[in-house]
Structure 1
Amino acid sequence: MTEEQKRVIIESGKNYFRTSIIPNHIKNLQKLRLKDFDVNPFLINYLAAFLCGDTAPQSMAKALVYPRILGTSVNTSFGQNIQIFISQLAQVAGCASGIDGIDIEFIDALDGRKKYCQCKAGSQTINKDDVDTILGHFKRLIGKARLDRIPLQMDDMIVGVLYGERISANYKTIATTYPVYCGAEFWEHITGDKTFYYQLAKAFGEVVEEDGINGSSLILQKVEDIAMEITEKGGL
């Protein structure tokens, strides 16, 4: 893959964050209310004191808001919108597939063979039913290859995991028959560049600075809002 093609993928990834991830992340932050939290009364005071050194309403609000908006919320948004990113990847890389159950097709930069790839978000994101679905897609592709005389080898059908390192047991089940490329390894097979995965990850963070988004201010404002609700309620 050329440097220009890699640049286009990175810019597409940035656009994905601008149009899908960041707006949803900010929306989820701004709509948060105290009632949205399943507060454990046996833990909240401890967590507030552990984080801030006291159990003031603002400290409790931080203990609630920080993990939600910096963890659960954005991870959920990324997973729910991952098909958008995959579609954009297929478009800019010119590797969209017309085969049912196959997300992208590309020439492997390492072995030069055409790969038929089903993409998944992360290294822990499939369940047992997903395993059967993926294996079924590959089985049907094998049948199609025989009919259409496509020169297909077993290791030409792969699962590409966009991020992560250690794959789950469900992925390992698939890997007994078909390759599962995860994180940096997956992106190296697409681009031929060992560092591309890290370049792409860094680029996502650059969007915030490039677009002048003050996430810290938005979070602190929400902390104040939640703290006010806690005060009005008389505590937690």
Structure 2
Amino acid sequence: MEESQKLAILESGKNFFRTAIIPNHINNLKKLELKNFNVNPFLINYLAAFLCGDTTPESLAKALVYPRVLGTSLNTTFGMQTQIFISELSQITGGASGIDGIDIEFVDALDGRRKYCQCKAGPQTINNDDVTTILGHFKKLMGKARIDHLKLNFDDLIVGVLYGDKLSSNYNIIASTYPVYAGVDFWEHLTGDRNFYYRLSKVFGEVVEEDNIDGSKLILDKVKELAEEIQEKGGL
């Protein structure tokens, strides 16, 4: 892959975070209310004390907000919005595939063969039904290739996982027949650059700096708001 295409992917990644991830992340933070939390009364005071050294309303609020805004909320948003990035990626690699079940097509930078790839967000993001669907699409494509006398190998049909390396058992079922490339491996096959995965992950963080987003203030404002609500209730 040419450097210009790599730069286009990096810029596309920034735009993806700028338009699809960050606004949703901030919106989810701002709309958080105490009623949104399924509080375990046996754990929340312990977690507050473990995190902050006390169980004041502010500490309780931090124990609620931090895991949500830095973990579960963002992971959900990323998973739901990933198809946007995959669509942009397909345009850079040569246009969206017209084949059912295939997200992108590209020439593998390592073996020089054309790959037909279904992309997934992360290492735990498919279930049993997804496995059946993916294998069905690939089997259909292999059958069509035989009818059309096309030289298509099993290794030319792949699943590309955008990040991670410890794949779920569902991915391993697919990997017994077709390659599943995840994280560093996927991006190396696509770009030919073993370090591209790290270049891409870095630019996602750069967007926050470039757009002057003060996440810490947004979080603390929400902590203060929930702490006041906890104070009014007399605790959790």
TM-score by length of 1: 0.99
Instruction: Say if 2:93 and 2:105, in contact at 8 Å, map to a contact too.
Output: no
Tell me the secondary structure at the aligned position of residue 5 of structure 1.
helix
One-letter amino acid matched to 2:233:
K
Percent of pairs with identical residues? 72
One-letter amino acid matched to 1:160:
G
Tell me the secondary structure at the aligned position of residue 81 of structure 1.
helix
| Superposed displacement of residue 150, structure 1 | 2.4
Report the counterpart of residue 182 of structure 2 in structure 1.
182
Does 2:45 correspond to 1:45? yes
Report the counterpart of residue 26 of structure 2 in structure 1.
26
Tell me the secondary structure at the aligned position of residue 66 of structure 2.
helix
Report the counterpart of residue 221 of structure 1 in structure 2.
221
CA deviation profile, 1:1-28 (whole Å, cap 9, x unmatched): 1111100000001000001000000000
Distance 1:27 1:150 in 2: 49
Instruction: Say if 1:96 and 1:105, in contact at 8 Å, map to a contact too.
Output: yes
Distance 2:126 2:100 in 1: 19
Tell me the secondary structure at the aligned position of residue 116 of structure 2.
strand
CA deviation profile, 1:188-213 (whole Å, cap 9, x unmatched): 00000000000000000000000000
Tell me the secondary structure at the aligned position of residue 181 of structure 2.
strand
Distance 2:220 2:230 in 1: 15
CA deviation profile, 1:115-150 (whole Å, cap 9, x unmatched): 000000101111111111100000111122123332
Does 2:67 correspond to 1:67? yes
Report the counterpart of residue 112 of structure 1 in structure 2.
112
- RMSD (CA atoms): 0.7
Which consecutive residues of structure 1, in runs of 5 or more, have no partner in the other structure? none
Tell me the secondary structure at the aligned position of residue 105 of structure 2.
strand
| Superposed displacement of residue 114, structure 1 | 0.3
Aligned length: 236
Which of structure 1's runs of 4+ aligned residues deviate more than 3 A?
none
Tell me the secondary structure at the aligned position of residue 160 of structure 2.
strand
| Mapping for residues 1-236 of structure 1, pairs under 5 Å | 1-236=1-236
One-letter amino acid matched to 1:71:
G
CA deviation profile, 1:156-205 (whole Å, cap 9, x unmatched): 00000000011111111111100000100000000000000000000000
| Superposed displacement of residue 95, structure 1 | 4.1
Instruction: Say if 1:12 and 1:92, in contact at 8 Å, map to a contact too.
Output: no
| Superposed displacement of residue 101, structure 1 | 0.3
Which consecutive residues of structure 2, in runs of 5 or more, have no partner in the other structure? none
Tell me the secondary structure at the aligned position of residue 125 of structure 1.
coil
| Superposed displacement of residue 63, structure 1 | 0.2
TM-score by length of 2: 0.99
Instruction: Say if 1:163 and 1:184, in contact at 8 Å, map to a contact too.
Output: yes
Instruction: Say if 2:93 and 2:104, in contact at 8 Å, map to a contact too.
Output: no
Instruction: Say if 1:163 and 1:182, in contact at 8 Å, map to a contact too.
Output: yes
